[in-house]
A = this chain, B = another copy of it.
Amino acid sequence: MSSIKEIAKKAGVSVSTVSRALNNYTDVNQNTRKKIIQIAQELNYFPSAVARSLVTKRSYTIGLFFGDQVNSGFDHPFFLEVLSAVRKVAGDAGYDLLIFTNLHKKKATYTTLCRERGVDGLFLILTGDGKRKNEQLIELQESGIPCVAIDLPLDGERCSYVESNNFLGAKKAVSYLIKLGHRKIALIGGDEVGKVSFDRLNGYRAALIEAGLEYDPQLVRYGCYSADQAKEATEALVSENRDVTAILAVSDVMAIGAIQRLTELGWSVPDDISVVGFDDIREASTNKPSLTTVRQCKYEMGSEAIRLLMKTIEDVSYRPSPVVIPCELIVRDSTAPPRFQK
């Protein structure tokens, strides 16, 4: 409401003096500064971020993009914790967050939306379909806009990404199953396009190979990170391979779906079959049986990602590189040695 101009008038100085006084410039008399600050407080003055960012080209705002499927992002249990970290770390550093929700402009792209809103950088959390908008991503990578993504391999001078060590995570899980005595281990994978799914698949294969076990494509199905599709995949899998004794589902949501369907089909988990998830969402520990899973350190992913972004924003010459966060195997009740161990 009140502006720098009013303060100037009341203080009997020029607006530039007020501006300098309020921005802690050294070249302003202590007394005039005091007077100005005093008046500013009386007037309950706060500078207009809008006007300021128009001239400084800095908004102290970070844009947030969620995947374009309905309700993704907010509803996804994994991304929530990431966001929680972003919120905390960005806030502590003086940034606010702008969620792009108005996506109905005709030819708008990530890049144009960022320029339009004047955000300092962009935080991308894309799921499924979102990842396929390649033209837009290429434009973004070349735009020079500081940008960081979760689980999406961005590559540009000022773009980077954060992901879990999906390869080692999956490998760890399968190695654990092997150590328990399992030999016929199936995979409910994600999709056949994303790097994340790809890395987890490879981790699964690597563990098998390392143990001298055969990799059998027949034991690999895809659930697209959906509980329902995982149920179908699981049912098909076990009906065609009744000797499977363990399953790695590469998301907890899929693992829980798999357990549900297995139970319906008369399989007991972990007595008849072991199931391992991926993510360690809250339901993993409250599920019955509680879920052995590969924990992604979501908070750390979020905080590392936002730090990377802020550093990129604040240092024009900084060239970010990808950050890989270790996973941890959390053993709970959904895994056990196979029933008919030799």
Contacts and interface: CB of A to CB of B under 8 A. Distances in A.
Interface in A34-65: 41, 44, 46-51, 53-54, 59-61, 64
A99 interface: yes
A99 B87 contact: yes
Contacts of A83: 74
Interface stretch (A7-15, A113-121, A187-195, A198-206): A113-121
A88 B70 CA distance: 8
Contact of A94 (B92, B99, B102): B102
B94 A104 contact: yes
8 contacts: A48-B115, A48-B116, A50-B54, A50-B118, A51-B54, A90-B102, A96-B101, A98-B99
Given A74-B87, A286-B287, A288-B288, A102 B98 contact: no
A257 B104 CA distance: 43
A167 to B, nearest CB: 29
Interface in A55-93: 59-61, 64, 70-71, 73-75, 80-81, 83-84, 87-88, 90-93
A149 interface: no
Contacts of A54: 48, 50-51, 54
Given A54-B51, A108-B46, A117-B49, A75 B81 contact: yes
A100 interface: yes
Interface size class of A (residues with CB under 8 A): 35 or more
Q: How many chain copies? A: 2
A41 B106 CA distance: 11
Interface in A277-331: 282-283, 286-288
A87 B73 CA distance: 11
A219 interface: no
A286 B84 CA distance: 24
